[in-house]
Amino acid sequence: MTSIIRAEYAACQELKKLENSSYNPGGCSVDFDKSLCWASAHIGQQMTRDCPFTFCTAIPGCEEIKDRYMVSRNCNSMGVWQDSNYTMCIKVVEEYAQCLQGFCRVCPDVLRDLVISVSLTLSFVSVILLVAAIVLFSIFDSIQCRRLSIHKNLATAFVFRFAVLAIWTIVQTTNVFQDCTRLTPLPLWDYEWICKAILWFVIYFNVASVMWMLIEGAFLYSRFTVFAMRHSDAPWSLYLACGWGVPFVVVTAWALVHQYISSQQTNSFCWLPYAQGLHLWILAGTMGSALIMNLIFLLMIVVILVQKLRTENSAESKKIWRTIKATLLLVPLLGISNIPLFYEPEHPSSVYMLGSAILQHSQGIFIAVLYCFLNSEIQGALKRQLSKVPFEFFKTRNRFETERTYVPEARNATKNGVPMEEMNKTKNIESGENTESQDQVSTGKQIYSVSTKS
């Protein structure tokens, strides 16, 4: 409603400039009644305007309410505006509030609801899969290495990123920090520090995940080059400082600058809107530089792969496919898919909004699946661990079945013939039995025996 009033006031100023005077000798001149702008009117004329509300015309019946209930104002015989009659608008608020955007309600928007649902669903799935990946990365001592430690920190950054982002989305959509008892909601200033803390963590883990992707790219590139043989690994504390310390410094610097700028503005609650101003480059510059460096690392890795594949004797098509496959596998790990999202059009289309939500919130799923669940080292360690666990339920139970066995000649029975009972290890011949049983067997005779198979 506040935005409508501001727009009406600006419209009045423009109309007064066009008429070059605020006085109309033939009636009432342009006037602003603190809510709506009234154009010039003749003496005795009655003017009507829509109520200064945002109507949800997509709701059945609300379009008719908008056209029926209006504001009226008369220009009296003296050429003076009478007071505006807002009685019908008050009735709309009392009886048809569901048709208005207010009281913390918003008009139905299929695209907005779809984007929020997709974002939350992918965030929850990413958190579950990444937590499972962290557990698998941690429980097997035989596969622990520096590369796996970087994977664990990247997965941890993504877990907190998606978890805090989901909390922020729920908080914003449910209007936790607003007083919804009024048509125009008022912020709850006593809880602003909680809102700012959540937003700070949203930005911090977003930057931290990008920094760990940069570390992934730099470490991977070092394994492909001669630096892996000439230099030892950097101390682990340096990795932690780059992955967790640099984002803390960057986000804190941005928060201090943004706090100072927002304090100069009236009605600025919870640093909103925060994605504006030149100081936004503190965040965008850091994240953009990291992603561009990862793109350079990816291109150089692809060049090295192509050079190595050329030395192989395999078919050219197979070499190309292996190069493309390796490149595609590295894209989610290095965050290259986030680069196009740095450009946001002034009026984003539905394709851009939905695609942006899918790309941003599904990255954790790709990392967990490609670099944990499909990792041959993880699969091998898991199989070795499971092989040590007895699964009695899956063992085959003993059963009886009838088999047909060929009994060779008696003269070859002890040399070449192998009775079926010995093959199944179920021979039950007493020690007292001897060649009398063999005499009963005729040459070429076929018999049936009952055996036990396990």
Residue-wise pLDDT for 13-45, tens only, equals: 888 777 665 556 677 888 888 888 988 888 888
In a domain, 104, yes or no: no
The answer to which of 184-193, 274-283, 312-321, 419-428 has the lowest mean pLDDT is 419-428
User: How sure is the predictor about 263, in pLDDT bands with cuts at 50, 70 and 90?
Assistant: confident
Averaged pLDDT, 321-345:
72
401, 383: one domain: no
Cβ atoms of 232 and 309 within 8 Å: the answer is no
Averaged pLDDT, 259-277:
85
Tokens of 192: 């602003």
289, 415: one domain: no
Statement: residue 316 has pLDDT above 70:
no
230, 302: one domain: yes
Cβ atoms of 37 and 9 within 8 Å: the answer is yes
Statement: residue 110 has pLDDT above 90:
no
pLDDT for the residue 407: 47
Q: What is the CATH number of the domain that holds 309?
A: 1.20.1070.10
pLDDT for the residue 226: 58
Averaged pLDDT, 124-139:
93
Averaged pLDDT, 81-89:
90
In a domain, 402, yes or no: yes
Work out the mean pLDDT of the chain and round it to a whole number: 79
Cβ atoms of 19 and 52 within 8 Å: the answer is no
The answer to which of 120-134, 245-259, 300-314, 412-426 has the lowest mean pLDDT is 412-426
Give me Rg for the CA atoms of the chain. 38
84, 121: one domain: no
359, 260: one domain: yes
Query: CA–CA separation, 147 vs 243, rounded Å?
Result: 14
pLDDT for the residue 117: 92
Q: Tell me the percentage of the chain whose pLDDT exceeds 70.
A: 78
Averaged pLDDT, 422-427:
46
Among candidate residues 60, 79, 99, the one where a domain is terminated: 99
Tell which wins on pLDDT, 263 or 414: 263
Statement: residue 436 has pLDDT above 60:
no
pTM: 0.73
44, 123: one domain: no
331, 409: one domain: no
In a domain, 438, yes or no: no
256, 371: one domain: yes
User: How sure is the predictor about 207, in pLDDT bands with cuts at 50, 70 and 90?
Assistant: very high
Tell which wins on pLDDT, 229 or 371: 371
Q: Peptide bond preceding 419: is omega within 30 degrees of 0, i.e. cis?
A: no
Q: Which helix (H) or strand (E) holds 446?
A: strand 446-453
381, 416: one domain: no
The answer to which of 8-17, 40-49, 226-235 has the lowest mean pLDDT is 226-235
Among candidate residues 99, 132, 167, the one where a domain is terminated: 99
In a domain, 433, yes or no: no
The number of residues in the chain equals 454
In a domain, 434, yes or no: no
State which residues form the domain around 420: 396-427+443-453
Tell which wins on pLDDT, 104 or 402: 104
168, 240: one domain: yes
pLDDT for the residue 146: 87
Averaged pLDDT, 290-303:
88
Secondary structure of residue 404 in the 3-state scheme = strand
pLDDT for the residue 27: 79
In a domain, 105, yes or no: no
164, 27: one domain: no
Cβ atoms of 62 and 55 within 8 Å: the answer is yes
Q: How many structural domains are present in the chain?
A: 3
Cβ atoms of 101 and 62 within 8 Å: the answer is no
In a domain, 147, yes or no: yes
pLDDT for the residue 234: 81
Statement: residue 300 has pLDDT above 90:
no
pLDDT for the residue 406: 46
Nearest Cα residue to 342 out of 392, 295, 388: 295
In a domain, 418, yes or no: yes
Angular region, 234: left φ>0, alpha ψ -120 to 50, beta rest: beta
Strands 446-453 and 399-406 come out as antiparallel
Angle between helices 281-310 and 192-224 (to 10 degrees): 20
pLDDT for the residue 397: 52
Query: CA–CA separation, 37 vs 9, rounded Å?
Result: 6
Q: What is the CATH number of the domain that holds 91?
A: 4.10.1240.10
The answer to which of 182-191, 220-229, 422-431 has the lowest mean pLDDT is 422-431
Nearest Cα residue to 163 out of 111, 116, 122: 122
Averaged pLDDT, 355-372:
88
278, 400: one domain: no
Averaged pLDDT, 238-265:
93
Averaged pLDDT, 236-248:
94
Q: Residue 89 corresponds to which amino acid?
A: C
User: How sure is the predictor about 317, in pLDDT bands with cuts at 50, 70 and 90?
Assistant: low
Among candidate residues 99, 119, 153, the one where a domain is terminated: 99
